[in-house]
Structure 1
Amino acid sequence: MMRSATHRPRNTGEILKRLAEIDRIVNPPPPPRRVPSQVSATVPIAPVNPVTPTSSPGTAGLLNRRRLLHMAGFGGVGVMVVGIIHQLQRHPFPWINNPAIKSTAPGQLTLSSFEFEVVTVDQKGKIATRNRRVAQYFTEELGNGVTLEMVAIPGGTFKMGSPTTEKERSDSEGPQHSRTIAPFYMGKFTVTQAQWRAVAALPKVSRELNPDPSYFKGDNLPVENISWHEAVEFCDRISKRSGRKYRLPSEAEWEYACRAGTTTPFHFGETITPELANYDGNNSYGQGTKGVYREKTTPVGSFQVANAFGLYDMHGNVWEWCADSWHENYQGAPSDGRAWVDNDYILDMLRGGSWNNYPRLCRSAYRSYYLGPSATGYIDGGFRVGCAAARTS
């Protein structure tokens, strides 16, 4: 099913009504987070097999939504609503399957193997085990000597969401349910600024891309300040160049890839530490210890530990856009890996948490969202790509 401009909210009142309904559904926000003084305090809300969407991100964006509702109560919402409507007019919802992208048979891929380290921690965050593992991947050329490494993710069935016994969970993470995921490929890392710049130089498919949108600068830092639409454009440009179908992963695919066979709050185990991921280490999760709050992004893969599938930085650093629309819980969710998309929703999913978030927001099951039609992104929002490239024998 496609998103169409004809399914947009009809008027200002309808927009406010939907935002108010969502605001009542989500859990109360966590305590206020510190934001570096030199950084604008805009916070994001926070899927590969060709994903066929069915019809139909959380707390991190609650401040902006509540400000909108508060202003509505005082009659000052006009300016903000005009801004939203302006964005809807300039950037109507794109089709999930862009007709400008003609997918051709990519043929056989050359897969290589890489070795990586996987660690697990005990309840206090101390490393309990270290293991070496091997996974397969292929390399996509993006131009100017820049490449993208795509890791083979095996198919399987898993329990999506969190159990009611998980610490600091939210109702939006339930009910737990089984999802069956087909094999796909996923970026070993979140998209870097060097990769973004290379793809921004490729021919436009639907919209222009700013080659240097990020607040924090560095070729190997994750690109951030990226909107959902811009992330889709990035995928579409690589699809057009390669003949393979690149896209944002579905929310189910993202959580499956993040967990990599685990059922704990983090793929590391029951807790997380700042030695393993980039988040607000002034706070802890469970019995874990506090640590450093870096107040910025870190180079991708810099912690040198992956999950069991060979993916790095799935917890923290930057939020990651997914293909799905926001739903307040999993009632009515598909049973496979498809993106769950509503034509008339303007909120899109974010997963994984960021450098600027409490550890509970970086859990495998935590769900977040923000306005998809926004023309700009957020200083802690990025993405990782998925691909449905044909497998080799």
Structure 2
Amino acid sequence: MVKIPGGEFWMGSDESDRASPRHLVKVPEFYMGKYPVTQAQWRAVAALPPEELTLDPNPSHSQGDDRPVETVSWREAREFCLRLSAYVGATYDLPTEAEWEYACRGGTETAYHFGDEITTDLANCGGPNAPQETTPVGHYGIGNRWELYDLHGNVWEWCLDPWHGSHGDKPAALQEDGSRPWLDEEIDISLHSDKSRLLRGGSWNLSPRTCRSAYRNYDVPGVRDYSYGFRVVCRGPRTP
């Protein structure tokens, strides 16, 4: 886990209807996984007592202990967080959309945290020379300011928030505290909610433009796909 200092940033992009309008958001300090959750980590947590759902210990399409776990739904990713929280005694969860973009950008305002251009030498994204499957986490060796890796490409990363078509109607309170998910009602946080959920970061099998820091995607919470993974955050006190 990497400590992400609190601060504020310009979220979104006016170049895309889905990511507009660009707006200032404050984000409190939190911790975030240095990499997406790996298959070895997934198996370890899947072996813990269940909280609300059962978990397949080996769901991934592209196999490898140090590859990101994939083919997991939003609900299963949250079940992982619940089990981890119960085992460790700290509160782990998926990042809010604001936390994810703040952590990804690391103070940058470019399309990607390493600049305005992306190639298959920089990230595992779709292209003629791409691996056409996931790669071990950290494979490209390009971290951002806070030493977070694989934020662009490899696997899409589930976020906590339900999908909203743009940032246009975001409540002002969420701009003051980016650790709060954008909920229309409290049931939206439930593992059994049917509302579509946000995905960020792009993946190995789609256009490089979908890997941009501001790019927003979504899917229903029960769907599994071999390009969908996640990383965790911890917002409260945690053990080393």
TM-score (norm 2): 0.92
Task: Tell me whether 1:311 sits opposite 2:183 in the alignment.
Answer: no
- Match runs of 1:43-82 below 5 Å: none
Unaligned runs of 5+ in 2: 189-193
Deviation, structure 1 residue 280: 0.7
Task: Tell me whether 1:156 sits opposite 2:7 in the alignment.
Answer: yes
Report the Cα distance in structure 1 between the residues aligned to 2:37 and 2:218, rounded to whole angstroms: 19
1:295 matched to which residue of 2? 132
Report the Cα distance in structure 1 between the residues aligned to 2:18 and 2:121, rounded to whole angstroms: 29
Equivalent residue for 2:217, pick from 368, 375, 383 = 368
TM-score (norm 1): 0.56
| Equivalenced residues, count | 227
Equivalent residue for 1:229, pick from 75, 93, 96 = 75
Q: What one-letter code is carried by the residue in structure 1 that aligns with 2:211? A: C
2:59 matched to which residue of 1? 213
Secondary structure of the structure 1 residue equivalent to 2:3: strand
- Match runs of 1:119-198 below 5 Å: 150-164=1-15, 170-198=16-44
Report the Cα distance in structure 1 between the residues aligned to 2:150 and 2:183, rounded to whole angstroms: 26
Which protein has the bigger strand share?
1
Larger Rg: 1
Secondary structure of the structure 2 residue equivalent to 1:389: coil
Per-residue Cα deviation, 1:4-39 (whole angstroms, up to 9, x for no partner):
xxxxxxxxxxxxxxxxxxxxxxxxxxxxxxxxxxxx
* 8 A contact 2:90–2:238 mirrored in 1: no
Report the Cα distance in structure 2 between the residues aligned to 1:174 and 1:310, rounded to whole angstroms: 27
Report the Cα distance in structure 2 between the residues aligned to 1:266 and 1:207, rounded to whole angstroms: 35
Q: What one-letter code is carried by the residue in structure 2 that aligns with 1:265? A: A
Deviation, structure 1 residue 391: 7.2
2:127 matched to which residue of 1? 281
Secondary structure of the structure 2 residue equivalent to 1:159: strand
Secondary structure of the structure 2 residue equivalent to 1:171: coil
Q: What one-letter code is carried by the residue in structure 1 that aligns with 2:227? A: D
Per-residue Cα deviation, 1:174-214 (whole angstroms, up to 9, x for no partner):
00111000000000000000000000000111111000000
Deviation, structure 1 residue 162: 1.1
Task: Tell me whether 1:330 sits opposite 2:172 in the alignment.
Answer: no
Secondary structure of the structure 2 residue equivalent to 1:277: coil
Report the Cα distance in structure 2 between the residues aligned to 1:247 and 1:321, rounded to whole angstroms: 11
Secondary structure of the structure 1 residue equivalent to 2:18: helix
* 8 A contact 2:38–2:65 mirrored in 1: yes
Equivalent residue for 1:321, pick from 158, 172, 187 = 158
Report the Cα distance in structure 2 between the residues aligned to 1:186 and 1:214, rounded to whole angstroms: 22
Report the Cα distance in structure 2 between the residues aligned to 1:214 and 1:359, rounded to whole angstroms: 22
Equivalent residue for 2:204, pick from 349, 355, 365 = 355
Secondary structure of the structure 2 residue equivalent to 1:278: coil
Report the Cα distance in structure 2 between the residues aligned to 1:202 and 1:339, rounded to whole angstroms: 27
